[in-house]
Structure 1
Amino acid sequence: MKKYMISSSPTRKERSLFTLVENKSAYTFDRGELNFFETHQNAENVNLVFDNFVLTSMLKGKKVMTLPHQPSFDYLPGESVILPPGELMKIDFPEADLDNPTQCLALSISDDLIKKTVDNLCEYFPKAETWGQWQIDYSTFHLTNTQELADTINRIVSITKKEKR
């Protein structure tokens, strides 16, 4: 299956970094936050957790991701991960260095917005009775980006950056 990439952001120079591991740039809005993370050195067992539903997408480099009750996996550009609120990610950065930083984005979305969206789908666009209700399936958490997903994420990033200027 072909992987579709998300546009990466320019790599920050070392003197403008707050930290070399998971340096974060954030764009906050009413019902969520768009974060860009860069890691500029090899690191292991870095913990990351979000209070809300989160969609992460790899932009550059490689991570080894470990999630509760799942085997570790290589997380590469062209892939995304969807996680429920409070899910602990343990992350290794086996290849990150100053000349080859790892970049990832994380779009955190308010649980209220997710719930309202699912409720609206159930009310206004119900599935056939045999298919059940609309719901989020967290068992499908590691995705290969489709063209549609990559285009949507790129559009969200573009809109967010323009809104916050």
Structure 2
Amino acid sequence: MITQVIDKSRSTPQVLVENKISYAGPESELSIYDTYQKADRVQLKSDQLLFCAMVTGKKIMHSDVDNFDSDFLPHESFIMTPNSQVEIDFPTAQLSKPTTCLALEISKDRINQVADTLNAQQTLDKTFGHWQYHHNLVHTHHNTQTQAVLNRIVQIYGENHTERSAMISLAVSELVIRLLHHQTREFLLSFCQKDPEINGLTAVVNYIEQHLSEHLDIDSLARLACMSRTKFFNAFKQHMGCSPIAFQQQRRLYTAANLLKAGKTVTQCCFELGFMNTSHFSRCFKQFYGYSPSQYKMRQLNS
């Protein structure tokens, strides 16, 4: 979907490194970047939050924040904090096979508006404060839900009708909500690594992380959290954005993607993470990432 829309918008490139096509929207701007030749240490900076999604090719991202150096591949997102700067290498870009990335610039006001709406509707545990954007880099795999939002955003920005602004606003808000949920989840996970017993919820998250290959019992998790079953289930879903079973499955698949990226076979990933058979594992992986494990691994190797 994204590649089809981008192909229609392309024209003869004006520059060979980070050729840019931009579309304006309410409190946001979508840009499509194509690079047609190898390049090193190309600087990128934005005064707003910048949500970047790889489409084709490979980048290597460098940031002084936390000494970050990492490959950036298709089906992954890289989120830059406002007023931050990164440097980018393009090791595989070619005139016939450009490295393509889309970047969505979202205003601070829009992020604060979405966070305020979430805070008015629901509150987090006092340990973790309230819904807000944390100023740190985010590098993560896409799931099919995030990919679907990005597909809609790219398509809507290229349209020209009276409802365009309203539809962009809704789609961007959904993307921000997913970002805030992701950051809250990562915040909880980091808490678990430092102090898994800080409260009942972190104890449960830590337990799930340590038992990805095992069957979960909700009543046992509720007792570990020192909550009733209903209170625990609601609290977990509020903080993590899904049920405990769904969270375990997502963490399994996230771990599987990293293991595939590190060179493990599909069979090794399947049984190491507790899936019953490779067919079931492949179906779950494709439903979550949009590619089968074999396709995903091949894309990583060829990037």
Q: TM-score, normalised by structure 1?
A: 0.87
- Structure 2 CA distance for partners of 1:79 and 1:124, relative to 1, 3 Å: same
Equivalent residue runs for 1:119-134 within 5 Å: 119-134=116-131
Task: Tell me: CA distance 1:126–1:85, structure 2 relative to 1, closer, same or farther (3 Å).
Answer: same
Matched, 1:141 2:156: no
Distance, in Å, in 2 between the alignment partners of 1:139 and 1:84 is 6
Q: Secondary structure at the match of 2:7?
A: coil
Establish whether residue 111 from structure 1 lines up as the match of residue 108 from structure 2: yes
Cα distance in structure 2, aligned partners of 1:58 and 1:132: 32
2:96 aligned with 1:95, yes or no? Answer: no
Q: Which protein is richer in helix relative to its size?
A: 2
Partner of 1:62: 58
1:69-99: CA deviation from partner (whole Å, max 9, x where unpaired): 2331111001001111111010010110101
- Kindly state the Cα deviation for residue 122 of structure 1 after the two structures are TM-superposed: 1.2
Structure 2 unpaired stretches of 5+: 165-303
Q: Which amino acid aligns with 2:71?
A: D
Q: Assess, with a 3 A threshold, how the Cα gap between structure 1 residues 71 and 131 changes in structure 2: closer, same or farther.
A: closer
- Per the TM alignment, residue 51 of structure 1 is displaced from its structure 2 partner at its CA by 1.4
CA-to-aligned-CA distance 1:90-145 (integer Å, 9 cap, x gap): 00101101011000000001111111111221122222434421122444600100
Q: Is the 8 A contact 1:82 1:138 kept in 2?
A: no
SS of 1:162 mapped into structure 2: coil
Look up the match of 1:151: 148
Instruction: Find the structure with the greater CA-based Rg.
Output: 2
Q: Tell me how far apart the structure 2 counterparts of residues 135 and 159 of structure 1 sit (CA, whole Å).
A: 27
Q: Which residue number in structure 2 is paired with residue 7 of structure 1?
A: 2
Counterpart check, 1:161 vs 2:158: yes
For the residues of structure 2 that align with 1:154 and 1:102, how far apart are their CA atoms? 18
Distance in 1 (CA, whole Å) between partners of 2:92 and 2:42 is 14
Equivalent pairs, count: 158
CA distance in 1, matches of 2:160, 2:52: 21
- State whether structure 2 residue 69 is matched by structure 1 residue 72: yes
CA distance in 2, matches of 1:78, 1:31: 25
Name the CA distance, whole Å, in 1 between partners of 2:73 and 2:135: 20
Query: Which segments of structure 1 move beyond 4 Å, counting only runs of 4 or more?
Result: none
Contact 1:53 1:109 (8 Å CA) reproduced: yes
Equivalent position amino acid for 1:46 in 2: V
Greater fraction of residues in strand:
1
Aligned-partner SS, 1:100: coil
RCO higher in 1 or 2 (8 Å CA, sep ≥ 6)? 1
CA RMSD of aligned residues (A): 1.9
Q: Partner of 1:157: helix, strand, or coil? A: helix
Structure 1: stretches of 5+ with no match in the other structure: 1-5
Greater alpha carbon shift after TM alignment, 84-93 vs 122-131 = 122-131
Q: Distance in 1 between matches of 2:73 and 2:13?
A: 23
Tell me which of 40, 44, 52 is aligned to 2:40. 44
- TM-score, normalised on structure 2? 0.49
